[in-house]
Amino acid sequence: MNRRFNWPIWVGFLLVLAGLLTYPFFVQFPVTRDFPWANLLILLAGAFVLGDGLVRAFRQREIYHGRILGSALAVLSLFVIGFFAFAAFYVVRQLPASKGAPHLGQKAPQFTLPDQDGKPVALADLASANWAVLLIFYRGHW
């Protein structure tokens, strides 16, 4: 009797890949960016389905293929999940303490820098001409 194709190991692995690759999509929305629960759910679903496939491959080896392939996909999936966890929970927190940044109630350090038209802009001028100034130090990178 021909053994059946073990679809759970493939679907599980694809879900794990999707859990990682959909990060640039979900990161656009603060609700799924602040804590990556959407990606974690997809990764978890993938792990469960792949796990189910492995169980079938090992416990029902007369019926299902997939012991070797399933094990390889499982190891790859562990790497993918590990990489995601590392990037999403460790790397993003590697920021300097910035203890020397101005505190509440302190005067913001003065500066003059060119704007997008090359015109010099001084903080003191912005502050006196407006009700308040919001300084955003924008980091356009992970």
Partner 1 sequence: MDSVEINQRHTRQLGLTYSFLSDTRAEVIRRYDLLHAGGGPGGTDISRPGEFLVDKQGVVRWLNLTDNLSVRARPEQLLKAFDEMSGKTAAN
Residues within the interface to partner 1 (CB under 8 A): 27, 30, 33-34, 36, 88, 92-96, 98-111, 113-118, 121, 123-124, 126-128, 130-142
CB 50 within 8 A of CB 56: no
CB of 78 to partner 1, least distance (A): 23
CB of 81 to partner 1, least distance (A): 18
Q: Which is nearer to partner 1, 60 or 112 (CB)?
A: 112
CB 37 within 8 A of CB 60: no
CB 10 within 8 A of CB 73: yes
CB of 87 to partner 1, least distance (A): 10
CB of 46 to partner 1, least distance (A): 21
Q: Which is nearer to partner 1, 68 or 136 (CB)?
A: 136
CB atoms near residue 1 (< 10 Å): 5
Q: Which is nearer to partner 1, 59 or 99 (CB)?
A: 99
Q: Three-state DSSP class for 75? A: helix
Which DSSP letter does residue 64 get?
B
Which residues have C-beta within 8 Å of that of residue 57, sequence separation ≥ 6?
6, 9, 64, 65, 66, 67, 70
Q: Which is nearer to partner 1, 2 or 98 (CB)?
A: 98
